[in-house]
Structure 1
Amino acid sequence: MDDLSSEAIRSLLTSLFPSQMVEDLAREREIVIRDRKIDVRMLVWTLVVGFAVGGEARSIAGYRRAYEAATDHSVYPSSFYDRFTEELATLLRDLLDHAVEEVAVPHTLTPAFEQFRDVIADDATIVRLCRFLSEFKATHENKSGLTLYLVHNVTEQSVISDGITDETTHESTLFETGSWLSGRLFLLDRGFFKFRRFALIDENDGFFVSRLKASSNPVVTEELQEWPGRAIPLEGVRIYDVVGDLYREHIDVEVSFQRRVYNGVKSWDTKQLRVVGVRDEDADDGYRLYITNLPHDEFDPDEISTLYRARWVVELLFRELKSRYSLDEFETEKAHIVKIQVVAALLTLVVSRAILREFMDSAEEQDEECVFPTERWAATFRSLAQLILQEIAAGYGYPPPNLGEILYQEARQPSPSRLTLLEEVNAGLCGGSPA
């Protein structure tokens, strides 16, 4: 991997967010002020890379120290804090919208995916906030929490859409229908289970696989797989009424449901879908059951179960955000600062994936069999985040940091009149007053 030098990675990242684009957006959002004491390009990168560092660096004071260490330029704390505004949150949102269209990691998925335009996994996670913020109401009184919703492109391993709401907003309401569904396969968990949603995906020429909810209990209209001997007939019964009595390896049936009245339209519509089951002694009723509109003659139950496993990539994405980047550690009383940091977290993923793509492309070109486990990659990226930030600063012409000066400025007592603990003890022993 000698061709992926520090300069190459620096060039890759600065081209992801070109200087002129960042400055134009900052000017449009009225973030750039006349004195230009803070380089808005480095402010953006400090938030993105600084979020990966986590811990104390997640505070505004920590971001300021990271900025100063990378640029070798001291900034008044108040001047730096004043940049954390609603406008900065909007700027980061603009950059995220740009970045998700630019970054995709090559996939090594089953050829069964090739017939779909994309394979999409939708999911959401709850982020608990340490302080009460009225904008992010939780399901418990006097608590705060936000819902982070992600639409993840499994095929290209990239986040293509996201949403940030309070905890009380149900994740399923964030799923958008329309022509964009065409040709895509959606892997949905039970939180998105709704027959009307399935029908809209089907009517927009999309495909879906979802776990079947026991409360739905649809009626079987036809068996799609014959079983010899004295197999229990399923036609005309509700699937959950008999599934506990079955011992066959697979279930493959057609079911029907009726869509209810919506928006005052009184015409009822019957829709035919497919339910498949794969024998699993550890599962409820002995089967893993799925509902789908994938054709019977192209996908058998085992293949559908295997396809659905790809939905876990979005679960792993949330786990990466929480376990590796400590997504749910926010010590702030400002709702817009929470938004800034959540979007910074998503930008961190985008930037991390951009570098990963380069390594994977390079390995492929050199015919090297390299595997980069996601969480191992995230841990490595986090541990080297400050070095990455310094490389970016070097690309913008900043000199190497003066480590001694930074340590002196940050570690010294800000108020000369304030005594240390030992000075207070000495003053007390000598009969003085510990001012």
Structure 2
Amino acid sequence: MGSVYKPPDSVVVNRIQRAFPSDELRERARATNLIQRERKLDVVALFYTLSLGFAAGSDRSIQAFLERYVEMADCDELSYATFHGWFKPGFVALLREILDEAIENLDTGQTELSGRLERFRDVLIVDATIISLYQDAKDVYALDDDRAGAKLHLTESLSTGLPTRFRTTDASTHERSQLPTGEWVAGALILFDLGYYDFWLFDRIDANDGWFVSRVKENADFEIVEELRTWRGNSIPLEGQSLQAVLDDLKRQEIDVQITLSFDRKRGSGASATRTFRLVGVRNDDSGEYHLYLTNLERDDYRAPDIAQLYRARWEIELLFKELKSRFGLDEINTTDAYIIEALIIMAALSLLMSRVIVDELQKLDAKQRDCADDAAASSTRLPRRRCSHAVERHAHLIQLYLMLDLGYELPDLDSLLLWSSRDPNPHRPRLREQVESGEFW
């Protein structure tokens, strides 16, 4: 009797299963009635196929995912039409539910902030990016009259590197409309792109015991009510001046003042409110122009250069968008089907979370190995997150194989798999050679 292959124990595989338990995936699928309706659907195999499918590189097509699924579920009788038909509202809703649950509960263990950031519960970076789509998708995902695009609205936690909010709209939706206010900001520093420049929003963050730093629009004009830093010599007095009236004449290295701004107390009410916030500016020596920021952080805790340095952390979300587009396929959505578009966007987010889970486990493994070796450099970061992500991407197919075996799936028959994958899906379409040999001349 031949021995049964047992894969070696893998802490990475175990960590993946703890993050996305098979029993919970099946239970969620049963709740949507997908299992009863689609007998060939194995939701566990499908989920891991989709979430580890980024190893296919730019080929994030339904055909590529089908081939991966057949490898894992060993069901070579599954047709493309059947597989394509699974991507309907119920399945997209299931993916969204899994994503929302993961965003809420995943823990990378990397939550401590230090230095300038240690006073904050977290630093949350808010931004949006446009995903280009085929023009025929503009009925659902409109960018303008002639173009189609989806807009991804994302909030990233600087402490964990994970999204805390992930929403998709058509590209014409304004960023500000997708950002709720409330107790979620308490104790956190919120960093804004100019797409969220809104005085009412700043007031709500302050009222909910949060902090914010936002860039200032170029044409913004405020009344300066107090200077928070005085300058020796013949400096221009700013108190009582408007910002634009004095900005071009200033030569000082920093601006640090209190300003007033007015906004609707309640949207659409017509009743205005006035608040005082801090405006800081740091002069660029090369251009002579100021980078201006609005904030409610106190000068005693953060001087003007500190505010500028805090805002630099906003670049992290740009790197996250780049990762989603270049590695997880958000720039390669080659379909006009609204449900598949939504599914591919959610799948990119799940792929990102899966990658982060694996990277976190790799960093823990590395730390344990260095502790055991009494490495003098043990305190340094030996496995940078993005380098780890590249390694996970290169070996995702192998990770899926180990996961498959650990979950009790069997390796597919190689000959049958290759035959199935090689068969022409359009066998009645004449090949070029056949047309040359015996086809009619047009």
Give the TM-score normalised by structure 2. 0.90
User: Aligned partners of 2:228 and 2:421: how far apart in 1?
Assistant: 71
User: Aligned partners of 1:260 and 1:244: how far apart in 2?
Assistant: 30
| Cα distance change, pair 85–351 in 1 and its aligned pair in 2 (3 A) | same
Higher RCO by CA contacts (8 Å cutoff, separation 6 or greater) = 1
Contact (CA 8 Å) 1:136, 1:165: kept in 2 or not?
no
TM-superposed deviation, 1:245: 1.8
Which has the larger displacement, 349-358 or 382-391?
Answer: 382-391
Residues 1-400 of structure 1 aligned to structure 2 (within 5 Å): 7-33=10-36, 36-56=39-59, 58-74=60-76, 75-100=78-103, 101-104=105-108, 106=110, 109-260=113-264, 262-263=266-267, 265=269, 267-282=271-286, 286-365=289-368, 366-367=370-371, 368=378, 369-400=380-411
TM-superposed deviation, 1:338: 0.7
User: Aligned partners of 1:271 and 1:417: how far apart in 2?
Assistant: 73
Unmatched 5+ residue regions in structure 1?
Answer: none
User: Aligned partners of 1:278 and 1:415: how far apart in 2?
Assistant: 64
User: Aligned partners of 1:393 and 1:286: how far apart in 2?
Assistant: 57
TM-superposed deviation, 1:328: 2.1
**SS of structure 2 residue aligned to 1:33:** helix
2:421 aligns with one of 387, 410, 413: 410
Contact (CA 8 Å) 1:53, 1:325: kept in 2 or not?
no
Contact (CA 8 Å) 1:324, 1:378: kept in 2 or not?
no
Q: How many residues align structurally?
A: 424
**SS of structure 2 residue aligned to 1:245:** coil
Letter in 2 for 1:95: I
| Cα distance change, pair 238–37 in 1 and its aligned pair in 2 (3 A) | same
Contact (CA 8 Å) 1:52, 1:345: kept in 2 or not?
no
User: Aligned partners of 2:96 and 2:37: how far apart in 1?
Assistant: 23
| Cα distance change, pair 241–144 in 1 and its aligned pair in 2 (3 A) | same
User: Aligned partners of 1:6 and 1:41: how far apart in 2?
Assistant: 20
Contact (CA 8 Å) 1:259, 1:270: kept in 2 or not?
yes
User: Aligned partners of 2:214 and 2:176: how far apart in 1?
Assistant: 13
| Cα distance change, pair 266–39 in 1 and its aligned pair in 2 (3 A) | closer
Contact (CA 8 Å) 1:105, 1:353: kept in 2 or not?
no
| Cα distance change, pair 341–418 in 1 and its aligned pair in 2 (3 A) | closer
User: Aligned partners of 2:427 and 2:274: how far apart in 1?
Assistant: 79
User: Aligned partners of 2:98 and 2:315: how far apart in 1?
Assistant: 27
| Cα distance change, pair 149–397 in 1 and its aligned pair in 2 (3 A) | same
TM-superposed deviation, 1:87: 0.8
| Cα distance change, pair 142–214 in 1 and its aligned pair in 2 (3 A) | closer
Q: Cα deviations across residues 192-223 of structure 1 (Å, max 9, x unaligned)?
A: 11111111111111100011112321111111
TM-superposed deviation, 1:12: 1.2
2:374 paired residue number: none
| Cα distance change, pair 112–402 in 1 and its aligned pair in 2 (3 A) | same
**SS of structure 2 residue aligned to 1:115:** coil
User: Aligned partners of 2:67 and 2:268: how far apart in 1?
Assistant: 58
Contact (CA 8 Å) 2:126, 2:155: kept in 1 or not?
yes
TM-superposed deviation, 1:54: 3.6
Q: Cα deviations across residues 272-318 of structure 1 (Å, max 9, x unaligned)?
A: 100111121355x5111111000111101111111111111111100
TM-superposed deviation, 1:111: 2.2
User: Aligned partners of 1:213 and 1:416: how far apart in 2?
Assistant: 60
